[in-house]
Structure formats: structure tokens, C-alpha cells
Amino acid sequence: MERFFLYDETEKTNIRYISFMGENQRFDLAIIQTDKYYGKKLVLDLLGNRFAIIGTDDLEEPGYLEEVYRLSEADAQELRELLYEMI
């Protein structure tokens, strides 16, 4: 069987690891900066095994972080405030 790759690239990236304790839960994140995704960051929730490609426009979308990371409104707000600083 012959594979058909849409792309196969290697790229150097910057990864920032952040761990902080919110009011209700701990967050352990890896924020990956890459040339892909139109300037957005790949944000991995290492404890929750979830990830999203996030830019400031996504942070402004109501309910986005709550849905993607399965967070309460209060926990999502704490994460949103941090990501505004990081992104």
C-alpha cells in the first residue's frame, strides 16, 4: 500500500510549560508556538489530555474554553486570563 501524505514536515518550535493552581484546580499546560496555524498557539492541557489551537479570537468566543477543556465557567475564566497574557 502506498501512503499519500498531505504533508510531512519538521520544524523547530518553542514550547512553554506552565503549571499554576487556580481557585478550584491545578493547570499543567504546554503552549507550543509554531509557524503553522496562522499565529495561533497549540495549547495542551497535560492533566486533562485535551488540546486546542488558540488565538485571541478564540479566547473571546463565549463558552469556547469551557467546551474544549471541559471546564466550569469559573475555571475557564482563570485559564482565559492566563492565556491572554501568554498568547
Domain count within the chain: 1
Is residue 64 situated within a structural domain? yes
Is residue 8 situated within a structural domain? no
Task: Supply the range of the domain harboring residue 71.
Answer: 59-87
Is residue 84 situated within a structural domain? yes
At residue 5, the pLDDT reads 93
Distances (CA, A) of 51 to 2, 33, 63: 30, 14, 15
The predicted model scores a pTM of 0.88
Is residue 66 situated within a structural domain? yes
Q: Over the stretch 14-32, which tens digit does the pLDDT of each residue have?
A: 999 999 999 999 999 999 9
Helices (H) and strands (E) in the chain, counts: 3, 4
**pLDDT of 1 over the 90 cut:** no
Q: Over the stretch 28-76, which tens digit does the pLDDT of each residue have?
A: 999 999 988 988 999 999 999 999 999 999 999 999 999 999 999 999 9
